[in-house]
């Protein structure tokens, strides 16, 4: 069987010890057709691996790809081989957790290229796999080597600016999805999935393995593991709790045409056309009083019991202070001019 899960040829950077820091994959492949998979297996082997390519392997791989008719990958390989930066080929036979930096970067770029959605690829243990890196005006630098590089820059009369220290870089330094607006690029991490029509405003944030179906307005925080369906609006300062935060088993998501008001919070998966009023944080353990269509109290439940249900409005009673939930039939509509 020739099928493989994913493949990419990337160019990256290493530290002084020869360890990979990061890798850019211009044209990652997800489940390529069996003929191409057979070519890749013949040249690179039959096991999941990341292989630093030498000149002979580059020539052999490019020739095999052109013979098979895959000029896109072959052209990408030729372009990358013109650089003096190290090249790596990553072959993932199956959807196993990444065990190296190149494998981890390939999976993150599958997400940001919209080839897979959040939770559709295995990234277990990715934090332990990635290195903490100084992302600077001179490119990525190993933390242990940063002090020396700063001194070297000063001695040359240059300035080395450190933009951030993190395991995840900005998405747009690797992938720029079509049809999106991002007001502050530093607030969208590599591994985010942004569907066409998504707008991320200056205070919006999208973590890795999280994102939007599009179109969506994001003025608040989408934490790791959270996916927001089309037409939903995350208001200024609003926050969606990270999936599996605190060791729980609930996968948090936002349905279609939902609204999180300014400074609101969400800790359960919402269905479609739901609203949480401004300033109200609904967690799985929040006690919610249900209100019927006649504005009568019916019962009190934990918010987790309302997970995935549609057409709900969550509000805080300004007199009693209790959290209430009633049927909400008016779905939010996004402003087309903003997307």
**198 and 329 fall within a common domain:** yes
246 pLDDT above the threshold of 60: no
Output 338 or 101, whichever has higher pLDDT.
101
Residue 305 is a catalytic residue: no
1 pLDDT above the threshold of 80: no
**324 and 190 fall within a common domain:** yes
The model's pTM is 0.92
- Residue 126 vs residues 100, 108, 283, 318: alpha-carbon distances, Å: 9, 10, 27, 44
**196 and 313 fall within a common domain:** yes
Q: How many domains does the chain have?
A: 3
Tokens of 264: 């609101």
Phi, psi of 324 (to 5 degrees): -120, 155
**159 and 176 fall within a common domain:** no
Average pLDDT over residues 252-277: 96
Residue 267 lies in a domain: yes
Output 128 or 246, whichever has higher pLDDT.
128
Residue 176 lies in a domain: yes
Per annotation, catalytic residue among 22, 62, 213, 219: 219
Phi, psi of 247 (to 5 degrees): 85, 10
Q: Which range of residues forms the domain containing residue 325?
A: 171-338
For residues 308 and 289, the answer to whether their CB atoms sit within 8 Å is no
Collapse the DSSP code of 183 into the 3-class scheme (helix H, G, I; strand E, B; otherwise coil) and give the result: coil
Average pLDDT over residues 107-131: 96
Outline where DSSP puts E strands in 109-197: 133-136, 139-142, 162-166, 181-182, 192-194
Q: How many CA atoms lie within 13 A of 225 on its CB side?
A: 16
**220 and 297 fall within a common domain:** yes
**232 and 293 fall within a common domain:** yes
What is the share, in percent, of the chain residues with pLDDT greater than 90?
Answer: 75
Cα maximum dimension of the chain: 77
**154 and 238 fall within a common domain:** no
Collapse the DSSP code of 76 into the 3-class scheme (helix H, G, I; strand E, B; otherwise coil) and give the result: helix
- 140: domain CATH number? 3.30.60
Tokens of 127: 């934090």
Average pLDDT over residues 91-113: 97
**162 and 175 fall within a common domain:** no
Nearest to 200 by CA among 225, 160, 171: 171
pLDDT band for position 295 (50/70/90)? confident
Lowest mean pLDDT among 72-86, 167-181, 208-222, 281-295: 72-86
Tokens of 245: 């935060």
**98 and 213 fall within a common domain:** no
39-74 pLDDT, tens per residue? 888 888 888 999 998 888 888 888 888 887 777 778
Tokens of 288: 């919610």
**186 and 323 fall within a common domain:** yes
For residues 91 and 110, the answer to whether their CB atoms sit within 8 Å is no
Whole-angstrom distance, CA of residue 176 vs CA of residue 103 = 20
Name the H helices within the chain.
Answer: 34-44, 55-68, 71-81, 101-112, 126-129, 146-155
- 77: domain CATH number? 3.30.70.2010
pLDDT band for position 34 (50/70/90)? confident
Name the H helices within 251-298.
Answer: none
Mean pLDDT, rounded, of the chain: 91
- 228: domain CATH number? 2.160.10.10
**198 and 283 fall within a common domain:** yes
Residue 272 lies in a domain: yes
132-187 pLDDT, tens per residue? 999 999 999 999 999 999 999 999 999 999 999 999 999 999 999 999 999 999 99
Residue 102 lies in a domain: yes
**74 and 144 fall within a common domain:** no
Residue 122 lies in a domain: no
Tokens of 219: 């003025």
Residue 24 lies in a domain: yes
Residue 298 lies in a domain: yes
Residue 128 lies in a domain: no
Average pLDDT over residues 331-335: 49
């Amino acid at each position: 069987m020739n099928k493989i899960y994913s493949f990419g040829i990337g160019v990256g950077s290493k530290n002084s010890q020869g360890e990979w820091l990061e890798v850019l994959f211009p044209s990652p492949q997800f489940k390529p057709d069996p003929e191409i998979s057979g070519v890749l297996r013949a040249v690179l082997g039959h096991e999941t691996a990341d292989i630093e390519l030498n000149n002979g392997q580059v020539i052999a791989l490019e020739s095999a790809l052109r013979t098979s008719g895959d000029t896109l990958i072959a052209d990408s390989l030729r372009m990358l081989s013109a650089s003096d930066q190290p090249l790596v080929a990553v072959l993932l036979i199956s959807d196993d957790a990444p065990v190296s930096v190149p494998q981890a970067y390939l999976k993150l770029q599958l997400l940001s290229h919209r080839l897979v959605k959040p939770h559709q690829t295995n990234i277990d243990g990715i934090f332990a796999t990635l290195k903490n890196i100084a992302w600077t005006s001179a490119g990525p630098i190993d933390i242990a080597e940063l002090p020396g590089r700063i001194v070297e820059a000063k001695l040359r009369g240059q300035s080395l600016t450190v933009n951030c220290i993190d395991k995840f870089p900005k998405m747009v330094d690797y992938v720029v999805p079509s049809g999106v607006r991002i007001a502050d690029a530093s607030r969208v991490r590599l591994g985010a999935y942004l569907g066409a029509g998504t707008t991320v405003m200056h205070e919006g944030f999208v973590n890795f393995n999280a994102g939007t179906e599009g179109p969506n307005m994001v003025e608040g925080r989408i934490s790791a593991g959270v996916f927001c369906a089309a037409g939903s609006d995350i208001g200024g300062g609003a926050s969606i709790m990270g999936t599996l935060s605190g060791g729980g088993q609930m996968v948090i998501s936002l349905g279609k045409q939902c609204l999180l008001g300014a400074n609101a919070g969400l800790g359960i998966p919402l269905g479609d056309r739901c609203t949480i009023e401004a300033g109200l944080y609904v967690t799985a353990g929040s006690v919610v009083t249900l209100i019927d269509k006649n504005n009568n109290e019916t019962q009190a439940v934990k918010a987790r019991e309302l997970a995935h249900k549609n057409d709900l409005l969550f509000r805080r009673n300004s007199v009693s202070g209790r959290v209430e939930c009633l049927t909400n039939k008016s779905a939010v509509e996004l402003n087309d001019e903003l997307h």
